[in-house]
Amino acid sequence: MTDKPNPGDRIAKVLSRAGIASRRGAETLILEGRVKVNGRTIVSPALNVTSKDTITVNDEPVGPADISRLWRYNKPLGLVTSTKEGRGNVFDTLPKNMPRVMSVGRLDINSEGLLLLTNDGALKRSLELPSTGWLRKYRVRVRGYPTEKTLLPLIKGITLGNERFQPMEVVLDRQQGANAWLTIGIREGKNREIRRAIEEIGFQVNRLIRIGYGPFRLLDLKPGEVEEIKQKVIRDQIGEFTGEIKPKEKDNSEKLDSKEKKKI
């Protein structure tokens, strides 16, 4: 006779779906002794819970998971996407009536443009996974005079030390004085990936704007503005989210359209 599997979901997944933290962040809360189930502090994330269990974090009750929601946010320069750095962060600039949200991936302090926000930690994790395959698209201004030949290593994929960068989609759009504008698409989003890769081929990035993340685009969103993505659009792009996704991507290999080029 085999033991029946425990019903319900892992506690970290439940906390993540409720918008408390990412799964990893939820596991940290548990290990710090800040999570209770039915009045008892738990010390391990290896616990399944159901809707019948009472869960608290820092002695505050955890409500049921809200519907998974997404927002587009145009991150200005000078803000970070982490609350741990002691500097101005994007979350302090959001409307007061927004629920607690997390960023899907990050943009460093010197980068700007599209940042997706969500109230669902599990959705955040799924959208960030390289296996999801969503293209992150950027407009990149570099100092110098790159050519198709000098950009070829980025298209083929390069190695920096022990780190391999996957092939990028690179288009040389125009030369503007001593600077050139590129459109670059990546699928992994490693730490400062584009800046480091550009430096490796002898140029320097002096402006970096994310204009697309999978099927979602920056479009006319002004710096600092945030706009919720309609549920119908979310369903069309990722379906009904149930904890894991394999999104379908639409029209993400296209070149930057003329309307967006004129804006920059």
For the annotated catalytic residues, the residue numbers are 108
Going by C-beta distance under 8 Å and a sequence separation of 6 or more, which residues neighbour residue 2? Answer: none
What are the beta bridge partners of residue 61? 56
Specify whether the CB–CB gap between 213 and 134 falls below 8 A.
yes
Edge-to-edge order in the sheet of strand 60-61: 40-41, 35-37, 55-57, 60-61
Closest CA to 257 of 211, 215, 208: 211
The alpha carbon of residue 255 and the mean position of all alpha carbons in its chain are separated, in whole angstroms, by: 22
Q: How far apart, in whole angstroms, are the C-alpha atoms of residue 170 and residue 148?
A: 9
Q: What b-and-e string marks burial along 187-201, b requiring 16 or more CB atoms within 10 Å of the CB?
A: bebeeebbbebbeee
Record the tokens describing residue 262, joined without a space: 């004129």
